[in-house]
């Protein structure tokens, strides 16, 4: 939800900015385009996430079958953390480009 709310705030704020300000924010917008986060309904659907389901089943077989849902949710969290890390790096890069101008 945080990833989606950040994306929505960026889109709304870009409507009111000038062209040179939008150009500096394009790397951040590119992250949202390259690393889309599915909604929770898609994330929780094991049929749409066969790779995550398979890894969760394998982990459940190796440790305990009752842990499969835990592994599945951990896979969702790892995916979100990866995307937030990429977004954070893009924000830091934009800040460093803008900072010398201030």
67-77 pLDDT tens trace: 999 999 999 99
Domain ranges, residue 73: 2-101
**Distance between CA 84 and CA 31 in Å, rounded?**
9
pTM of the entire predicted model? 0.78
Mean pLDDT of 3-10: 86
Is the pLDDT at 57 greater than 80? The verdict is: yes
Extract the tokens encoding 53.
């389901």
Is the pLDDT at 102 greater than 70? The verdict is: no
What totals of helices (H) and strands (E) does the chain contain, helices first? 5, 0
Extract the tokens encoding 3.
């990833």
What is each CA distance from 45 to 13, 18, 26, 27, in whole angstroms? Answer: 32, 41, 32, 31
Domain count, the chain: 1
**Distance between CA 95 and CA 77 in Å, rounded?**
26
């Amino acid at each position: 939800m945080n990833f989606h709310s950040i994306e929505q705030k960026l889109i709304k704020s870009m409507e009111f900015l000038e062209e040179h300000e939008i150009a500096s924010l394009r790397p951040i917008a590119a992250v949202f385009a390259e690393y889309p986060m599915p909604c929770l309904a898609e994330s929780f659907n094991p049929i749409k996430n066969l790779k995550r389901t398979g890894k969760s089943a394998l982990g459940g077989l190796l440790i305990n079958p009752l842990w499969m849902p835990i592994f599945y949710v951990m896979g969702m969290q790892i995916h979100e953390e990866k995307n937030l890390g990429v977004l954070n790096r893009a924000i830091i890069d934009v800040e460093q480009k803008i900072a010398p101008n201030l």
